[in-house]
Amino acid sequence: MELTKLTACKAADKIRKKEFSVPELTQAYLDRIGELNEKIGAYITVCKQDAGKQADNIQKKIDNNGELPLLAGIPAGISDNICTSGVLTSCGSRMLSNFVPPYDATAVKKLSQNGAVMLGKLNMDEFAMGSSNETSWYGQVKNPLDYGRVPGGSSGGAAAAVASQMACFALGSDTGGSVRLASSFCGVVGLKPTYGAVSRYGLVAFASSMDQIAPVTRDVADCAAVMNSIAGHDPLDSTSRDYGHEDYTLSLKSDVKGLKIGLPKEYFSGGIQKEVKEKVLDAAKVFESLGAEIEEISLPLLEYALPAYYIISSAEASSNLAQYDGIKYGYRTRQFEDLVDLYKKTRGEGFGEEVKRRILVGTYVLGAGNYDACYNKALKVKRMIFEEYQNAYQKVEVILVPTAPSTAFKIGEKTADLLDMYLNDVYTVPVNLAGLCAISVPCGFDSSGLPVGMQLIGKPYDEGTILRAAFTYEKYTGGNGGIDCGI
Ligand code: GLN
């Protein structure tokens, strides 16, 4: 049996039945990382020894027939912007290349309380700013399905690790689509929880009003299992909500009879790749054949979502990243003349191009002369997008759209044209602006064999419904068109 091919739920079941041990499973993943990481670049740090120790401890509990938590013994990777006690948390940046947090993020703590084994820290776009993983200071992550292509971003390391079986599941972050885009490009499942569903404590801030820690998994059932472990109110994050979160695995019913699914026409026109459109519309037909009611709807504010997102996220980033000054922690330039010179050199050397660009844009839109014309206007657009979705949810329960306008593109293809790069996020950012939940699920391949992803968007805190719809689709089609996309 190839242990790394198993989903988290299947592996957990076999561990309980003692078909193999946690150290065996962990070692299989570490071997896989040893074999592939140099080529794919998904991990920045591999915690070989720690993972081994955790695996032994969990196995001891199993041998003593102790009560087994949900993810007991399942090896996972964590994005490098999620704090892990005693382990480098670089955010893909030179600025934090020496930052070893003294504490765990709440999501990490919860995973470890649930018995997950942490394999290491995953590569990502610098400070989660990017759509292709080309902005990391630690180098490009490659798409496991085609090394010449990007894995999507910013959580490219997370999606690439799960797709290439270097992690059974992973945690990434989703501010504007990071986890969904990367999952779509790598052919895995990624869920952006409702804002407030998962604690942000210990997630290095990019745009605090939209950031969410988000699971990347092999299938929908795993996604529900991981959400069960990480969701819920946390007194350490005042924006996390006590909504008495449900047992998400109870949503895993194969049933979409009568489910009202909206197809917004604006998401299927413009610069969308023909095959992406076809595959997502095919998925709509599958839902229809299973008893769902498909209705065309209109969300005309889509065209304003991307500019509003880039204004708001850059404004927040410019403020959040002001703390990296070479004094408190993180990188500090070697030679400087005075305090101002220290700040300038530290920030000049510590941040990469894209991060600097966002800080500049953010500072500009928050400037006294531009605040109303840019930042305030973007906030109004955000509110209007929220209302537009609220209205749509009067008619439908779930909205089905493509995750991205295209499949994975070639490394370097979009670095020269920023607008082209930012357009990757056109279908994902409205979800973050409106505080909704959404899941990206593979729905076939294009003619080059690259995975296509569809997005099921749900009302706030209605993860249960999108998980049910995604689960039903996956069960019916057998996953990505019935094809095993693990390499
Ligand atoms: N690509 C988007 C950006 O660069 C979103 C990234 C994210 O979700 N972290 O801002």
Where residue 483 falls among pLDDT bands split at 50, 70, 90?
Answer: very low
Better-predicted residue by pLDDT, 67 or 58: 58
pLDDT surpassing 80 at residue 422 = yes
Intra-chain end-to-end CA distance of the chain, in Å: 15
pLDDT per residue as tens digits for the range 262-294: 999 999 998 999 999 999 999 999 999 999 999
Q: Determine the distance separating the centroid of ligand 1 and the alpha carbon of 130, expressed in angstroms.
A: 5
pLDDT per residue as tens digits for the range 37-57: 999 999 999 999 999 999 999
Over the chain, what is the mean pLDDT? Answer: 96
Least reliable range by pLDDT among 93-97, 155-159, 251-255, 322-326: 251-255
Residue type, 262: G
Where residue 161 falls among pLDDT bands split at 50, 70, 90?
Answer: very high
Q: Determine the distance separating the centroid of ligand 1 and the alpha carbon of 318, expressed in angstroms.
A: 15
Where residue 480 falls among pLDDT bands split at 50, 70, 90?
Answer: low
Closest CA to 77 of 114, 35, 39, 30: 30
Q: Determine the distance separating the centroid of ligand 1 and the alpha carbon of 131, expressed in angstroms.
A: 6
Q: Per the structure block, which two tokens stand in for 62?
A: 């199993």
| E strand or H helix that includes residue 422 | helix 418-422
At residue 261, the pLDDT reads: 98
Pocket test for ligand 1, best of 129, 429, 432 (most atoms within 8 A of CB): 129
Q: Which atom of ligand 1 is nearest to the CA of 432?
A: 8
Cα separation, 192 vs 315, whole angstroms: 22
Closest CA to 245 of 202, 203, 209, 194: 194
Pocket test for ligand 1, best of 134, 154, 356, 359 (most atoms within 8 A of CB): 154
Stretch 80-96: mean pLDDT, rounded?
98
Contact between 218 and 183 under an 8 Å Cβ cutoff? The reply is: no
The pTM (predicted TM-score) of the whole model is 0.97
Sequence-distant (6+) residues with CB within 8 A of 40 are 141, 142, 144, 147, 160, 161, 164, 166
At residue 166, the pLDDT reads: 98
pLDDT per residue as tens digits for the range 423-458: 999 999 999 999 999 999 999 999 999 999 999 999
pLDDT per residue as tens digits for the range 215-248: 999 999 999 999 999 999 999 999 999 877 789 9
At residue 381, the pLDDT reads: 98
Q: Which residue is closest in CA terms to ligand 1's atom 10?
A: 129
Residue type, 11: A
Stretch 180-199: mean pLDDT, rounded?
98
Residues having CB within 6 Å of any atom of ligand 1: 128-131, 154, 173-178, 313, 425
- List phi, psi (to 5°) of 77: -110, 150
pLDDT surpassing 80 at residue 124 = yes
At residue 67, the pLDDT reads: 79
CATH class of the 3-253 domain in this structure: alpha beta
At residue 65, the pLDDT reads: 78
| Residue percentage of the chain with pLDDT more than 70 | 98
pLDDT per residue as tens digits for the range 361-383: 999 999 999 999 999 999 999 99
At residue 486, the pLDDT reads: 46
Q: Which atom of ligand 1 is nearest to the CA of 422?
A: 1
At residue 243, the pLDDT reads: 78
Instruction: Measure Cα distances from 396 to 192, 454, 455 in Å.
Output: 20, 17, 15
At residue 401, the pLDDT reads: 98
Q: Determine the distance separating the centroid of ligand 1 and the alpha carbon of 198, expressed in angstroms.
A: 18
Q: What is the DSSP letter of 207?
A: S
pLDDT surpassing 50 at residue 353 = yes
At residue 482, the pLDDT reads: 47
Where residue 66 falls among pLDDT bands split at 50, 70, 90?
Answer: confident
pLDDT surpassing 90 at residue 203 = yes
Torsion, Cα of 198, 202, 204, 205 (10° steps): 50
pLDDT surpassing 50 at residue 485 = no
pLDDT surpassing 60 at residue 481 = no
Q: Which atom of ligand 1 is nearest to the CA of 174?
A: 8
| E strand or H helix that includes residue 418 | helix 418-422
Q: Per the structure block, which two tokens stand in for 39?
A: 């080529």
At residue 386, the pLDDT reads: 98
Q: Which atom of ligand 1 is nearest to the CA of 354?
A: 4
At residue 388, the pLDDT reads: 98
Residue type, 259: L
Cα separation, 204 vs 89, whole angstroms: 9
